[in-house]
Amino acid sequence: MAVGIFDSGLGGLTVLDAARRRLPDVPFVYFGDSAHAPYGVRDADDIYNLTTAAVERLWAAGCDLVILACNTASAAALRRMQESWVPRDKRVLGVFVPLIEALTERQWGDNSPPREVAVKHVALFATPATVASRAFQRELAFRAIGVDVEAQACGGVVDAIEEGDMILAEALVRSHVDALRRKMPSPEAAILGCTHYPLLQDVFQDALGPDVSVYSQADLVAESLADYLERHPGMLGSGTDGMYLTTGDPRRVSSRATQFLRRQITFEQA
């Protein structure tokens, strides 16, 4: 009954943590492709090939349902995977859907025409590859009209987090928020479009100010996953053991993960 969670590195641990709190009886297998992180500076074909390889490893671990807790993979690879690669008895889901549901206050299955929503000016903070894909804007346009989205590519933030340099990461976040504000002085909402960024959510909020609603993915994705499994219980895979897998150095990755989540995390070689 295991569920797989994939990320290019450690950012998806924020989603895993929230999913475990929401679904304590479900074993999760986490796969972090730290050897190839960050994905945000790679091209679409490279991201697709790395992501499909990781998903196959999670299927082998008994996870018929895999969550791409990586916005870059969700933006650059997910649609292609779903259209031509994922077999009928498996599912691969991304992390944009819960964000857009929250922002537009409508369910994903609502296929009525796009309509106006309360929020008109949205800042999107994401990796360069996610920004270049325009996947968030494309999906939002199917459901809402009149929303101005200003995207800011946050180069260097994921690298700093993966290296454990939170001082540099905080400085980069403040620099990127300043750059965004030069383009959109008064955003009403901000989307943290990378699962690494919740580790710096307080920094984003402080830099943006108290009047900006900051949408982070971890809790939204966890709640969406719980709803999906309630509607599709057959998608719980055959795996019974939770584990942490990495393509990087397990000792180093375990140390970083333990630092992030403030509890002992032990990775195995994928």
Sorting pLDDT into bands at 50, 70 and 90, what band is 85? very high
The CA distance from 189 to 71, in Å, is 18
How many domains does the chain divide into? 2
Residue range 212-253, pLDDT digits in tens:
999 988 888 999 999 899 988 989 877 788 999 999 999 999
pLDDT at residue 105 greater than cutoff 60: yes
Sorting pLDDT into bands at 50, 70 and 90, what band is 190? very high
Q: What is the mean pLDDT of residues 161-170?
A: 91
Dump strand ranges (E) for 186-246: 189-192, 213-215, 243-246
**Joined tokens for residue 169:** 């990461």
The CA distance from 99 to 191, in Å, is 8
Catalytic residue among 18, 37, 70, 208: 70
pLDDT at residue 1 greater than cutoff 80: no
On whether both 200 and 113 belong to a single domain, the answer is yes
**Which residues 6+ apart lie within 8 Å of 215 measured at CB?**
99, 102, 103, 189, 190, 191, 192
Which of 197, 215, 233 is the C-terminal boundary of a domain?
215
pLDDT at residue 131 greater than cutoff 90: yes
On whether both 88 and 110 belong to a single domain, the answer is no
The CA distance from 5 to 237, in Å, is 13
CATH code, 60:
3.40.50.1860
On whether both 113 and 87 belong to a single domain, the answer is no
Is 215 known to sit in a ligand binding site? Answer: no
Q: What percent of the chain has pLDDT over 90?
A: 68
Question: Domain containing 78: what range?
Answer: 3-96+218-269
Q: What is the mean pLDDT of residues 143-169?
A: 92
Is 40 known to sit in a ligand binding site? Answer: yes
The CA distance from 54 to 231, in Å, is 26
pLDDT at residue 109 greater than cutoff 70: no
On whether both 30 and 73 belong to a single domain, the answer is yes
Give the per-residue pLDDT at 174.
98
Comparison of pLDDT for 138 and 207, the residue scoring more? 207
Give the per-residue pLDDT at 141.
87
Is 195 known to sit in a ligand binding site? Answer: yes
Which of 178, 195, 215 is the C-terminal boundary of a domain?
215
On whether both 73 and 110 belong to a single domain, the answer is no
Catalytic, 70? Answer: yes
pLDDT at residue 261 greater than cutoff 90: no
On whether both 83 and 112 belong to a single domain, the answer is no
Comparison of pLDDT for 162 and 8, the residue scoring more? 8
Q: Can you list the alpha helix ranges (DSSP code H) found in 142-191?
A: 157-162, 166-183
Give the per-residue pLDDT at 19.
95
On whether both 130 and 67 belong to a single domain, the answer is no
The CA distance from 196 to 13, in Å, is 8
Is 14 known to sit in a ligand binding site? Answer: no
Catalytic residue among 194, 199, 200, 270: 194
On whether both 152 and 194 belong to a single domain, the answer is yes
Is 36 known to sit in a ligand binding site? Answer: no
On whether both 237 and 187 belong to a single domain, the answer is no
On whether both 120 and 209 belong to a single domain, the answer is yes
Dump strand ranges (E) for the chain: 3-7, 28-32, 65-68, 91-93, 115-116, 121-126, 144-145, 148-153, 189-192, 213-215, 243-246, 268-269
Q: What percent of the chain has pLDDT over 70?
A: 99
On whether both 87 and 47 belong to a single domain, the answer is yes
On whether both 186 and 229 belong to a single domain, the answer is no
Is 8 known to sit in a ligand binding site? Answer: yes
Comparison of pLDDT for 124 and 162, the residue scoring more? 124
pLDDT at residue 184 greater than cutoff 80: yes
